[in-house]
Amino acid sequence: MAEKFRGHESPYWRHIEVMPATHNCTLSWDTKDIALLKQTDFGNSLQEDVDGMYANEILPVTTAHPTVWPAESCTRAAFEWAAGMVQSRAFHLQASNWATNEITEGRNIAPGEEILHTYGDLGNGELLQVYGFVEAPGVNPFDAVGFSTGEIVDAVLDSGDYDCEALNERMASMLLDGIATPRMLVQAKKKPFMQLCSCVLVCTMLAVE
């Protein structure tokens, strides 16, 4: 924030000036936009308290060091921009520099050729939240839908004449034994996760089984 505010006087200005003026990470979305994600697997878990972060974590530091961060450089809008730039462009590195890593090219690279890095094995939800974009429907093999144990029990109850108390007892036992987890994922381009299938099978078994 401070370096952008300094403009041409900042030693980082050449880098800052090529950055976009806006970003589409979900931390910049208003409540109306966030509401569009409700009832999606990603939207149900989205927790973006940008106002709280700005008020409780950023302002106490910047106001305590006004010579580093002049008040005009630390507006809510300035923080949102800076957070989006760091979030979408920075690399996560270990704090301890205990090892090196060699990167070997798999083909000839021409002088001046742009080299891109992968965003990782991420579904569209995480790509949207962190980087501000999504891939086309059906393209991303890492897209996943999560099912909670409660949703599985409800689905089984809706499918037939099952006892709610007995189902919850079975699910609790599976959680205790490690057969089930509180949330199970199914990736878009993979067969249903065996863990999920096992939970449904146990829930629908007859008492004699």
Comparing 37-41, 128-132, 202-206, the range with the smallest average pLDDT is 37-41
Q: What is the pLDDT of residue 98?
A: 67
Per-domain residue ranges for the chain?
Answer: 2-89, 144-204
Percent of the chain with pLDDT over 70: 88
Q: Is the Cβ–Cβ distance between 162 and 202 less than 8 Å?
A: no
Residues 112-150 have pLDDT tens digits of 998 877 777 888 888 888 888 888 888 888 887 777 888
What integer is the mean pLDDT of 23-36? Answer: 83
In tens, the pLDDT along 49-90 reads: 788 889 999 999 999 999 999 999 999 999 999 988 988 887
Between CA 197 and CA 194 the distance in angstroms is: 5
> Which stretch of 18-27, 102-111, 179-188 has the lowest confidence by average pLDDT?
179-188
CA pair distance 186, 196, nearest whole angstrom: 8
CB 135 within 8 A of CB 152: no
The pLDDT score that the predictor gives to residue 56 is: 92
User: Model pTM?
Assistant: 0.60
Is the pLDDT at 44 greater than 70? The verdict is: no
pLDDT-wise least confident of 3-7, 140-144, 177-181, 205-209: 205-209
- Helices 124-131 and 76-89 sit at what angle, rounded to 10 degrees? 130
Structure tokens of 2?
């401070």
Burial 6-45 (b: 16+ CB within 10 A, else e): eeeeeeeeeeeeeeeeebbbbbbbeeeeeeebeeebbeee
Q: What is the pLDDT of residue 47?
A: 58
